[in-house]
A and B are shown apart, each in its own frame.
Chain A
Amino acid sequence: MAASLRCFLRSGKRAVLVAVRRGIHSSSPAAVQVTVRDALNQAMDEELERDERVFLLGEEVAQYDGAYKVSRGLWKKYGDKRIIDTPISEMGFTGIAVGAAMAGLRPICEFMTFNFSMQAIDQVINSAAKTYYMSAGLQAVPIVFRGPNGSSAGVAAQHSQCFAAWYAHCPGLKVVSPWNSEDARGLLKAAIRDDNPVVFLENELMYGVPFEVSDESLSKDFTIPIGKAKVERQGSHITLVSHSRFVGHCLDAAAVLAKEGVDCEVINLRTIRPLDVECIEGSVMKTNHLVTVEGGWPQFGVGAEICARIMEGPAFNFLDAPVTRVTGVDIPMPYAKILEENSIPQVKDIIFSVKKTLNV
């Protein structure tokens, strides 16, 4: 079933979809489930087809089908010219990708994980992000840097860092962090179509997770605007703001808290930079309480920025309590399972923080 779903989704034939829908219920549509991996794969496939200038490069993206199989089937379909396996040379191939973007192509540069992007971070910041400004608009850099970010499972300290705060610090970059399949699809298509450098932070643990996606999102021109957050759950007592995998944790926490009479509003940031402050402010002005949840370290992080922005804006006067940040523990990621589990926010940590903030 999954294979046939993948088949018709990839070919974009919606007729079969309609048939499935009619076949099962005449009243309600069957849910189309797509994993985050497949959503990313389809988005890239469609954009490669749509625009000849788009190409993918990175380690193992072609013949291996992608280290995490995100680019499965693309090399077979598009060949060596459009899907390029690189040697293990991050600084070199990232620079090559940026140069290709400067010369008019639209590269997707994959980092096997964002930890390895540190080797190439000069090319991302100094060659990509700053160039449009330095050239006073003469030289654009339409490039997407994508790959898994943040903690995984048992990969230890050098492979578990979250780079959202590092990249979001820099003007000239757009930084995007999808949570579910619809986010992944819409934001990746938007990122590829954007004429600017976009850092696209995926999450390895989310790749295999299936989500229901709307019919609308399956259209080849479906994009999600970069810079707009989404309210995933409406609520009135407290606002939870998160990005990537922890949006799911927030929703789980909200479900538990609902049974205890605490009504949480959950915001999925979708984009880290530019931050959708208005969405957060609007929510805080309604709920009067705010908890931020992220996987990254606390100091100088996403939550820290949200706190500062709330203080500087109209929502501050609506706060009944200081903003609470729920973050990863301020240590390099340990290996042992029990240690790793206790290094990142768990649902119970979010529940605890909500109750403390609400003083219940």
Chain B
Amino acid sequence: MLTNISNVLRTCAQRNGAAAVVSARTYSDFTTQATFEIKKCDVFKLDEAPATQVVMTRDEGLQYYRTMQTMRRMELKADQLYKQKIIRGFCHLYDGQEACAVGIEASINLKDHLITAYRAHGYTLTRGGTVKEIMAELTGRRGGIAKGKGGSMHMYCKNFYGGNGIVGAQVPLGAGVALACKYKGTDELCVCLYGDGAANQGQIFETYNMAALWKLPLIFICENNRYGMGTSVERAAASTDYFKRGEFIPGLRVDGMDILCVREATRFAADHCRSGKGPILMELQTYRYHGHSMSDPGVSYRTREEIQEVRSKSDPISLLKDRLLSNNMASVEELKEIDVEVRKEIEDAAQFATTDPEPPLDELCNHIFSNSPPVEVRGTNPWTKLKSLS
């Protein structure tokens, strides 16, 4: 409401005090919720499917918009900083895939657990990390979420197990987390993500077997963005029906560019797990605008036309924005306001990330062991003896 009043006042001011009759839009003008028809999921070994008529409230819509926009701008800022050589090493950007991270989190809660691979900045955000500490981790500063020790692929926070650099290794880890949930007797579940490239890893099939055998509360999610680095799915997989690869595990194929599809499918999957039925597999069909990493321009194995087509027809943020506007759930100004706030948040975070000092050298050897007395660590030569604290 205050936003609307300020919009009105701003509009008045712009017209230099001329009597400007601007119809003031108050909150009561907006639809508080609306029902949307979403794409039906393809199902595998399931008698039911996620709902195709879903309700989204205005508040939810605005929150999803803000989070996705924050994620988008954060990744684009990371791109910028990488090109300025302020971020080094690996940097795998998530722009285009925002609906996946935000949609998943919308149907689980922070007591649930989540683990993903290296394209992890978005999940670090949805799991509770701040833009500031994510960016400072990318720039390797002491204010980073892992104090600068981890970098892009190794960010952690409560109930978020990274950020994992070895393709596919996170999948058995996720099953272990789910085992712990079941062992402790909670109704928590674990969401375990991997890409279309990782989907061919043997350890994932070992995990399918054990998760199904032991009925672990595990949601396997394959984020299929069509390319594993430079290899398209057709060149990598004998079967590209990733949602069926679990063989004896029920599966869903979901439009990963539509946040409501992702949210609804995750809700369905979470219910499945929490009712003790064991694991379930979701394939999210999504797309990354950037190349595999910052060292990949991303146009040698796909066309610019393809990228442009996805951007214009399926951009997750645009899809949501259109829904909000055409259903009178938000105003253009309101969304612009959010954009401005997000931009500021990112700028402030980038400012922090570029000015915060690097970690102190005397902390180089810390955090080797947990809960252990201080030990001596050999430096690069025999005379250099460094200290390691827990």
Cβ contact within 8 Å between A92 and B177: no
Cβ contact within 8 Å between B369 and A132: yes
Cβ contact within 8 Å between A95 and B150: no
Contact residues in A for B17 (Cβ distance below 8 Å)? none
Contact residues in B for A104 (Cβ distance below 8 Å)? 180, 184
Q: Of B161, B169, B203, B210, which contacts A86 at CB under 8 A? A: B210
Interface centre among B147, B181, B210 (most CB of A within 10 A): B210
Complexed CA–CA distance, A126 and B168 (Å): 12
Cβ contact within 8 Å between B180 and A103: yes
Additional pairs, 10, CB under 8 Å, beyond known A87-B210, A105-B179, A135-B154 = A84-B214, A95-B175, A122-B169, A127-B169, A135-B156, A137-B390, A140-B370, A171-B368, A172-B368, A195-B372
Assess whether A99 is interfacial by the CB under 8 Å rule: yes
Contact residues in B for A84 (Cβ distance below 8 Å)? 214
Q: Spell out A's residues near B (CB within 8 Å).
A: 55, 81, 84, 86-87, 89, 91-105, 122-123, 126-127, 131-142, 171-172, 174, 194-196, 274, 312-313
Interface centre among B206, B375, B382 (most CB of A within 10 A): B206
Q: Of B113, B146, B371, B372, which contacts A136 at CB under 8 A? A: B146
Contact residues in A for B149 (Cβ distance below 8 Å)? 133-136
Nearest residue, chain B, Cβ from A141: B370
Q: Of B146, B207, B214, which contacts A95 at CB under 8 A? A: B207
Complexed CA–CA distance, A132 and B163 (Å): 13
Cβ contact within 8 Å between A95 and B169: yes
> Total contacts A to B, CB within 8 angstroms?
152
Complexed CA–CA distance, A85 and B375 (Å): 37
Known: A134-B149, A196-B372. A100 touches B183 (CB 8 A): yes
Contact residues in A for B357 (Cβ distance below 8 Å)? none
Contact residues in B for A172 (Cβ distance below 8 Å)? 368-369
Cβ contact within 8 Å between B113 and A103: yes
Cβ contact within 8 Å between B172 and A94: yes
Assess whether B39 is interfacial by the CB under 8 Å rule: no
Nearest residue, chain A, Cβ from B158: A138
Assess whether B176 is interfacial by the CB under 8 Å rule: yes
Nearest residue, chain A, Cβ from B115: A99
Q: Of B176, B213, B375, B382, which contacts A98 at CB under 8 A? A: B176
Assess whether B230 is interfacial by the CB under 8 Å rule: no
Complexed CA–CA distance, A54 and B214 (Å): 18
Contact residues in B for A136 (Cβ distance below 8 Å)? 146-150, 366-367
Q: Of A94, A103, A140, A195, which contacts B181 at CB under 8 A? A: A103
Nearest residue, chain A, Cβ from B216: A96
Cβ contact within 8 Å between A95 and B203: yes
Q: Of B150, B181, B206, B210, which contacts A134 at CB under 8 A? A: B150
Assess whether B157 is interfacial by the CB under 8 Å rule: yes
Interface size classification for chain B: 35 or more
**Chain B's nearest CB lies how many Å from the CB of A244?**
23
Cβ contact within 8 Å between B176 and A139: no
Assess whether B293 is interfacial by the CB under 8 Å rule: no
Contact residues in B for A81 (Cβ distance below 8 Å)? 183
| 16 A–B contacts from the bound complex (CB under 8 Å) | A94-B172, A95-B171, A96-B207, A100-B179, A102-B173, A123-B172, A127-B164, A127-B169, A134-B146, A134-B154, A137-B366, A137-B367, A139-B162, A141-B370, A172-B368, A312-B382
Cβ contact within 8 Å between A99 and B175: yes
Known: A99-B173, A132-B370. A92 touches B206 (CB 8 A): yes
Cβ contact within 8 Å between A95 and B366: no
Mark out the residues of chain B between 193 and 215 whose CB falls within 8 Å of any chain A CB in the assembled complex.
Answer: 202-203, 206-207, 209-210, 213-214
Complexed CA–CA distance, A165 and B38 (Å): 57
Nearest residue, chain B, Cβ from A126: B166
Nearest residue, chain B, Cβ from A313: B382
Complexed CA–CA distance, A139 and B156 (Å): 8
Assess whether B165 is interfacial by the CB under 8 Å rule: yes
Assess whether B174 is interfacial by the CB under 8 Å rule: yes
Interface centre among B181, B214, B368 (most CB of A within 10 A): B368
Cβ contact within 8 Å between B176 and A133: no
Complexed CA–CA distance, A141 and B178 (Å): 16
Contact residues in A for B367 (Cβ distance below 8 Å)? 132-133, 135-137
Known: A132-B367, A136-B367. A93 touches B146 (CB 8 A): no
Cβ contact within 8 Å between A103 and B176: yes
Contact residues in A for B377 (Cβ distance below 8 Å)? 171
Contact residues in B for A99 (Cβ distance below 8 Å)? 115, 161, 172-180
Nearest residue, chain A, Cβ from B166: A126
Contact residues in A for B154 (Cβ distance below 8 Å)? 134-135
Known: A92-B172, A122-B166, A134-B150. A103 touches B177 (CB 8 A): yes
Q: Of A96, A126, A142, which contacts B210 at CB under 8 A? A: A96
Nearest residue, chain B, Cβ from A96: B176
Complexed CA–CA distance, A195 and B369 (Å): 8
Known: A136-B150, A196-B370. A102 touches B183 (CB 8 A): no
Contact residues in B for A137 (Cβ distance below 8 Å)? 147, 366-367, 370, 390
Complexed CA–CA distance, A126 and B163 (Å): 12
**Chain A's nearest CB lies how many Å from the CB of B163?**
8
Complexed CA–CA distance, A105 and B161 (Å): 15
